[in-house]
């Protein structure tokens, strides 16, 4: 079904949908997942996952620099949480932390959560987080106001919102008869998701003796052997002073709940950086309510968004984002309707 030796999940999903639409596909270089050649009715193009020749080089470079991204978003009047760029744990950084109460610390050019520390509240935590984010002496680091709420990824394709996914720290829902220990074990069995020949891990397995789990339970005054009331939700992930890459998250489709005002914000954010296929990261309590600086903000604009969880969410409806992506790529040679 897939080209020989193709193992990248995102490429597999693109290829699967391409075959469904009558598009031929192959890895341009055997064993290299970076470039995929798509051919339809004599028209061929080469893509790098969700990036194509239509993305200006300067747009990708601007999106990689968080300070540049924030400046461009601010110029558009979009809500961007307060931020500060530093190279060390200076007095200015300490004063910023004191003013905000809690901050996120991240490399200026971070991707995929590497080097990012969430919900930093003390000067000692700040110094350590800056050290981890800088990577090397003099490396630039961004401190940004930590916004209460949940994270949302809004996928924009060719100026239109294609899907919205909520990222929330993993949790269990009580059934009135099972202990928290039993519910966590049950949750671990449901984390592998499949779509056709593609298999993904919704989130890493949750260890019953992990420090993050035990801290989260202590904060909620829960124990592993406690029976959880039916319908009650218990977080199994502590995000205070946590490395972003270590946070277990549940992905839920929220495409039908985003309000028109937030749709407009996401489209404007993508346009501000001239990105045709963009992942707009927003944080707020409710994506169904217009985001303001008092209630949330736009955190990042990604020029190479992973669309996997839009198509294979842990909760909610699957969105046909790969069809929308391919229809956009071949809009000058319209695809036949399946």
- Whether the CB-CB separation of 331 and 87 falls below 8 Å is answered with no
pLDDT tens string for the chain (338 positions)? 445 456 889 999 999 999 999 999 999 998 899 999 999 999 999 999 999 999 999 999 999 999 999 999 999 999 999 999 999 999 999 999 999 999 999 999 877 778 899 999 999 999 999 999 987 777 899 999 999 999 999 999 999 999 999 999 889 999 999 999 999 999 999 988 888 768 888 888 999 998 889 999 999 999 999 999 999 999 998 888 998 888 888 999 999 999 999 999 999 999 999 999 999 999 999 999 999 999 999 999 999 999 999 999 999 999 999 999 999 999 977 776 65
**C-beta contacts of 122-126 below 8 A and 24+ residues apart:** 123/89, 123/94, 123/97, 125/241, 126/89, 126/93, 126/94, 126/97
Q: How far apart are CA 14 and CA 8, in angstroms?
A: 10
| End-to-end CA separation in angstroms for the chain | 18
Q: Tell me what pLDDT residue 4 has.
A: 45
Q: 49-94, pLDDT tens digit by residue?
A: 999 999 999 999 999 999 999 999 999 999 999 999 999 999 999 9
CATH number of the domain to which 132 belongs: 3.30.1490.20
Q: Which of 207, 236, 265 is the last residue of a domain?
A: 236
- Whether the CB-CB separation of 59 and 273 falls below 8 Å is answered with yes
Q: Tell me what pLDDT residue 225 has.
A: 95
Q: Is residue 45 part of a domain?
A: no
Q: How far is CA 275 from CA 19, 237, 279, 315, in A?
A: 26, 33, 9, 28
Q: Tell me what pLDDT residue 6 has.
A: 66
Number of domains the chain contains: 2
Q: Is residue 199 part of a domain?
A: yes
SS3 content of the chain, % helix, strand, coil (to 5): 30, 25, 45
Q: Is residue 303 part of a domain?
A: no
Query: 132 with 89, same domain?
Result: yes
Annotate 209-244 with DSSP letters as a single string. T-HHHHHHHHHTT--TTPBPPTT-EEE----TTEEG
- Whether the CB-CB separation of 150 and 300 falls below 8 Å is answered with no
Q: Is residue 290 part of a domain?
A: no
Query: Which residues sit opposite 18 in a β-bridge?
Result: none
Q: Is residue 64 part of a domain?
A: no
Kindly state the DSSP code that residue 146 receives in the 8-state scheme.
P
- Whether the CB-CB separation of 156 and 258 falls below 8 Å is answered with no
103-107/117-120 β-pairing: antiparallel
Q: Is residue 181 part of a domain?
A: yes
Q: Tell me what pLDDT residue 49 has.
A: 96
Q: How far apart are CA 122 and CA 104, in angstroms?
A: 12
Q: 185-205, pLDDT tens digit by residue?
A: 999 999 888 887 688 888 889
Q: How far apart are CA 291 and CA 295, in angstroms?
A: 6
Q: Tell me what pLDDT residue 1 has.
A: 45
Query: 86 with 142, same domain?
Result: yes
Q: How far apart are CA 59 and CA 274, in angstroms?
A: 6
- Whether the CB-CB separation of 43 and 333 falls below 8 Å is answered with yes
Q: Is residue 65 part of a domain?
A: no
Domain hosting 88: range is 82-146
Q: How far apart are CA 281 and CA 82, in angstroms?
A: 15
Exposure string over 45-84, b if 16+ CB within 10 A, otherwise e: eebebbbbeebeeebbebbbebeebbebbeeeebbbbebb
Token pair 């919102």 is at which residue?
A: 161
Q: Which of 99, 130, 146 is the last residue of a domain?
A: 146
Q: Is residue 197 part of a domain?
A: yes
Q: 151-175, pLDDT tens digit by residue?
A: 999 999 999 999 999 999 889 999 9
């Amino acid at each position: 079904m897939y080209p020989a030796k193709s193992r990248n999940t995102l490429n597999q999903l693109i290829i699967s949908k391409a075959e469904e639409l009558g598009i031929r596909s192959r890895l341009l270089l055997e064993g290299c997942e970076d470039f995929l050649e798509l051919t339809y009715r004599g028209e061929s193009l080469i893509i790098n996952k969700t990036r194509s020749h239509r993305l200006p080089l300067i747009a990708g470079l601007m999106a990689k620099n968080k300070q540049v991204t924030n400046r461009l978003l601010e110029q558009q009047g979009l809500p961007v949480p307060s931020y500060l760029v530093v190279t060390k744990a200076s007095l200015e950084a300490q004063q910023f932390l004191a003013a905000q109460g809690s901050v996120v610390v991240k490399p200026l050019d971070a991707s995929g959560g590497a080097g990012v520390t969430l919900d930093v509240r003390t000067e000692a935590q700040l110094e350590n987080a800056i050290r981890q984010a800088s990577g090397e002496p003099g490396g630039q680091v961004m401190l940004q106001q930590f916004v209460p709420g949940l994270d949302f990824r809004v996928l924009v394709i060719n100026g239109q919102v294609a899907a919205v996914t909520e990222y929330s720290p993993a949790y269990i829902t009580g059934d009135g008869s099972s202990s928290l220990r039993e519910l966590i074990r049950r949750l671990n069995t449901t984390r592998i998701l499949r779509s056709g020949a593609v298999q993904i891990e919704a989130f890493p397995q949750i260890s019953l003796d992990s420090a993050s789990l035990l801290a989260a339970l202590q904060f909620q005054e829960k124990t592993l052997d406690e029976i959880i009331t039916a319908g009650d939700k218990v977080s199994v992930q502590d995000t205070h002073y946590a490395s972003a890459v270590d946070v277990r998250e549940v992905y839920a489709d929220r495409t039908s709940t985003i309000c028109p005002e937030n749709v407009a914000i996401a489209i404007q954010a993508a346009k501000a950086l001239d990105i045709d296929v963009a992942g707009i990261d927003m944080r707020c309590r409710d994506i169904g309510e217009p985001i303001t600086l008092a209630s949330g903000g736009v955190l990042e604009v990604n020029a190479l968004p992973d669309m996997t969880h839009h198509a294979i969410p842990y909760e909610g409806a699957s969105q046909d984002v790969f069809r929308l992506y391919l229809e956009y790529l071949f809009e000058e040679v319209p695809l036949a309707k399946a």
